Structure 1
Amino acid sequence: MAGVGNLENEALKRKERLKALRQRKKQKESGDSENAEEDTLEKEKLPKPIFRSYKPQSEELREGALPRIKPLSVSENVKDQLESSKTEHHIDEVDLTNLAPRKPDWDLKRDVTKKLEKLERRTQRAIAELIRERLKASREDFASVINAGTAMRTQEDDED
């Protein structure tokens, strides 16, 4: 029920505003001096326009224009920022393995390295044994072969 009372109040306010508008219209038509005073009061109440980027042509409007302002000097702020950015950042050694992306099979290689070390030792032993067998087969003196091997190494070193 409160809504109905509220609607009635709104209707009464609207009627009063309409009456006030009718009276103003009649006063304008009759040209009363009271009406002229009200118009001047209304004009004075209106805010004056403020021109920020527009340069008005008439003298009356130029009074409302804002004065030109100069931009602030930011050179000091920039200098401060540059000085603060010059602080030395000491970076210790950068480990490239942490930065570089890893290949998909890196974990497999890590697991296989131990087994490969054992195989490498066995391979070296097998190669040494094959060399010994060849030496026995050719019945050459072991010492002469070693001397020949060292002579070949010295020649290779001289060539490099």
Structure 2
Amino acid sequence: MLKQELRVVMSSEEESIEQAAAARRERLRALRAAQDLLNTPDEDSGQVEDNGTNDEENSLNMKFRNYVPHDKQLQEGKLAPPVLPKFEDPVAAAPPPEEKKEDPFVNIAPKKPNWDLRRDVQKKLDKLEKRTQKAIFQLMEEQEKEKLVEASGSSGVDD
């Protein structure tokens, strides 16, 4: 029973595929017919083609921009290189303002002799600066406490 159902499903799929293929063939035929109508020369223009010899000559209408063919007949199709318009740079056209010219070695100022030492020791100096600030703050607090103790001690002695 299951096999029969599979055959029915497969046959319907094959039919749908065949129908799609037939529809596509029809569309392609219609497109070819339309293209042939566009490509056929008008009888009024007076162009009469021979047995196909003229067709081959017209199809060899190649243009070569970057390639020089060895065949002499094909060399006729070589195009001249395009002529580029001259580009004028508006920035370069304006003359730069004239500056007085000095010897570049006169203005060279050497760095301080200890610049590399400062760079290498800067982290350690920052840590020491923080510790110094803390120590100064602690000393100031101790001095304030001593003043308060002296002030409270001296006020108690007077009474």
TM-score (norm 1): 0.31
Answer with 1 or 2: which has the greater Rg.
1
